[in-house]
Amino acid sequence: MTPRKIIPAAAALMLSTTVLSAQDAIRIASPNKVTVLDPIVSAAGGNIEAYGQLYARLLRRGADGALEPGLAESWEISEDGLTYTFEMRDAKFSDGSPITAEDAAFSLTRVAKDEASAYPAGFAPIKEVTAVDEDTLQITLEHPSAPMLSNLEIFNAGIVSKDDVDARGVEGAFASDPVTSGPYMVEDWKPNDRITLTANPNFWREGLPKIQKVELIEVSDDNARATMAMAGEIDVNRSVPWAQVEEVNATEGVSVALEPSTVMYLVLPNHDKAPFDDLNVRKAAAMALDRAAITEAVTRGNAEVANSTFSNALNYHDASLQPPAYDPAAARKLLEDNGLTGTEINMMITPSFEQLATLLKAQWDAVGFKTTVERVDAGLWWSKLAEGDYQVTVNWYYNETEDPDLAVRWALCDTCGSDSYYTNYHNEEVNRLTDEALRELDDDKRAELYSRIQQITLDELAQIPLYYAPFSIAYADRVKGLTLTPALQWTLEEAELTAD
């Protein structure tokens, strides 16, 4: 028999009143925009954060990061690693209709096969997804995929309603009020301003979410978000600039949390354009950089100097490797010996990288480069990056899971869909090892393969790693149990608000 806790009547009334008023709404301000509600058509940060609230997946991450049953309450994998069979739990969409294996098959086929799918890399091994019956889903692979279960938990694997998409069409179903399977549904959406979510009364996790309403507010200006957090106008600031962490932390009622992430910052050289098509230029550029000093200056000591082309939060990160050490004299000599002194560099940046660009320019020019900084807005930056219309730039990226497969496909493999993070870095062995590591199910052998990839890409300076950064997030003290996971998912379904 389950023990019951007895609360005196007066105390119970007081507790009830407090909870009802406190759990009303949470306001989260982010520099990232919500632009689309179809989970397969965008991999932008703001959309990813919203998808996690709207669409549940077959699996979910527990508080310890381990995979747990989600809409699938159990699963089996065949001995050859080619067939995954899931038993769906008894769950409903926000409109009260049942979530079936057919909905799951429809959703996963869209993300894996639909031309509109913006990020299908993790699902490329899928041959077919079928509903065996109303409660049983079967995924058949072309070849084994070690990270397949992890990939089924990421943002674009959310389960949507097939009936709703059939009835309203893709444009109608995801226009503004999608039928949802996650903890929340859309109450109101004002693009370029905010999206207001309200609790899904049919969410499969009984009693959750505890917070009834969520406002995801778009505030692009870093200073404005910080001011709003300190003034109590918002409950969460998605990204606190390093220079403002101490000020925000010193404000009564607000605390800054540095949360684990897979984020790494790096220099992106265009391997298809001079001068960074020359390995000597990339080596001199790497040796010119005092990465420890840069990391300290930019992040105020809150990040770790990167040693690899992998995030240190990923499985198989090789801590024994290092890029070329800081040695400005050697960098200067390398340029002189190869007739490269005075080489002009055009560094393209967005406004958020002004400080980093100043440091890079100073250190590159000190060894004999002549660096020009080209400032563009974020939209033009992405356009020029994807078109290869740049010499060198800086940015960051993250990985959705602890498995490195997706990170390698995004940043280092030029045949995997994004031209090695649009640097056009090309190495046949890296491409081959990427595919081999995906199919390899032996953990020790995978570690060897990924170590080799890291060594090659450091030797060739596919990119110049800078630092590994945590998320810096300001929370009002009344917010309890909320974090941003390394996969950019808010843990809102279990979060609470207190009366303070």
In a domain, 144, yes or no: no
- For residue 425, is pLDDT > 90? yes
Helix and strand numbers (H, E) in the chain are 16, 21
In a domain, 98, yes or no: no
In a domain, 428, yes or no: yes
In a domain, 2, yes or no: no
CATH, residue 441: 3.10.105.10
- Here the tokens at position 37 are 């509600």
pTM for this prediction: 0.89
In a domain, 346, yes or no: yes
Range(s) of the domain holding residue 271: 263-468
pLDDT tens for 466-499 read 999 999 999 999 999 999 999 999 999 999 999 7
Residue 12 pLDDT class (50, 70, 90 cuts): very low
- pLDDT score at 65: 87
In a domain, 80, yes or no: no
How many domains are contained in the chain?
1
- Three-state DSSP at 64 gives coil
- pLDDT score at 23: 65
Alpha-carbon distance of 76 to 61, in angstroms, equals 18
In a domain, 359, yes or no: yes
In a domain, 333, yes or no: yes
User: Is the bond into 8 cis (omega within 30 degrees of 0)?
Assistant: no
The helix (run of H) or strand (run of E) holding residue 254 is: strand 254-259
Residue 387 pLDDT class (50, 70, 90 cuts): very high
Provide the 10 A C-beta neighbour count for residue 449. 21
pLDDT tens for 226-272 read 999 999 999 999 999 999 999 999 999 999 999 999 999 999 999 99
